[in-house]
Structure 1
């Protein structure tokens, strides 16, 4: 019996090497799996990068992919978690025209209700920042679309797990 497709957050701890992104994305590409989002940053461990990738697929497929990812020389450890097992956020920026004077009160209400933050304001435009769940960001995008969005960008997911990760203990050996 085939398992159903679910959204998974993949955490990959790696040495910071050139070309690894291509090899990791190729693992998904060969299986015709679309990457929903990807984020790379430093991790809690010095000289170790953490990649957070969001994909939708069946768990048996996910296990195989984790195995493939861990075969990459620079990969120290890879994990996958369900939505329920992670705490996650996305971040976005909206650039909007400043001359919406007559609709300003409505925009002010949208900003306040969404807990968005004004990053910068000048004569031509203002920029809003919003962090939250994708659904919150999509709602704000729909509300602001009525006023005209000049530019919009959204980050990939950033996530931590609800349970402890044993990676830190494992990496103490790696660092010495």
Structure 2
């Protein structure tokens, strides 16, 4: 199954996320990843979804999202050149190995140690999903105490989904070149 990234510009109102996730769940669409946050305008949020399925499934998800009144615009990143990131915070034990080996691996992955305790460190890492997965696998032998990840966020390199673009009405059909027979 292919993973697809969709982004929805929505009105920032109470209940919007619950409505959207409930609608998707009721139609048996599985959301693998979800990230929500305000946009450049606080009255709008962007929801980034990762869903698994073929093109038909993704088209159905997009169509269902577009029916919801609080959804302003949906962008399917299929066939787009996009930049994707996940964010992770990880608390790993330093009891057995000490700090130096964990610190060395964090530096290789360009992760940041954001907190140090007597028996653990907390590490922040952002990047593509596979980078985060690889780092987690390397940290397992040290003893992962806690782990939390955001959902994926993404932006297309060439196409924009700004609030202003999403709010523009569709271009009216140009009838100046249409011949009408009487």
TM-score by length of structure 2 reads 0.82
Q: How far 1:46 sits from its partner (Å)?
A: 4.2
Instruction: Please tell me whether residue 97 in structure 1 is matched to residue 93 in structure 2.
Output: yes
1:115 aligns with 2:102: no
Which of 1 and 2 has greater Rg? Answer: 2
Moved more, 11-20 or 104-113: 104-113
Please give the alpha-carbon distance, in whole angstroms, between the structure 2 residues aligned to 1:16 and 1:46: 7
Equivalent pairs counted in the alignment come to 168
Could you report, residue by residue, the CA deviation over 1:99-125 in whole angstroms, capped at 9, with x for unpaired residues?
34x544322321121111000112242
Following superposition, the deviation at residue 42 of structure 1 comes to: 0.9
The residue that corresponds to 1:151 in the other structure is 146
Residue in structure 2 matching 1:13, options 9, 14, 30: 9
- As a proportion of its length, which structure holds more helix? 1
1:25 aligned onto 2:18: no
2:63 aligned with 1:78: no
Question: Runs ≥4 in structure 1, deviation > 3 angstroms?
Answer: 102-105
Which residue is 1:162 aligned to? 157
1:49 to 36, 45, 65: 45
**Unaligned regions of 5+ residues in structure 1, if any?**
none
Q: 1:136 aligns with which of 128, 131, 147?
A: 131
Aligned partners of 1:86, 1:45: CA distance in 2, in Å? 22
Name stretches of at least 5 consecutive residues in structure 2 with no aligned partner.
170-182
SS in structure 1 of the partner of residue 63 of structure 2: helix
Larger mean Cα displacement after TM superposition, 45-54 or 81-90: 81-90
Contact 1:27 1:65 in 2 (8 A): no
In structure 2, what is the Cα distance between the partners aligned to 1:29 and 1:137?
Answer: 27
Query: TM-score, normalising length from structure 1?
Result: 0.85
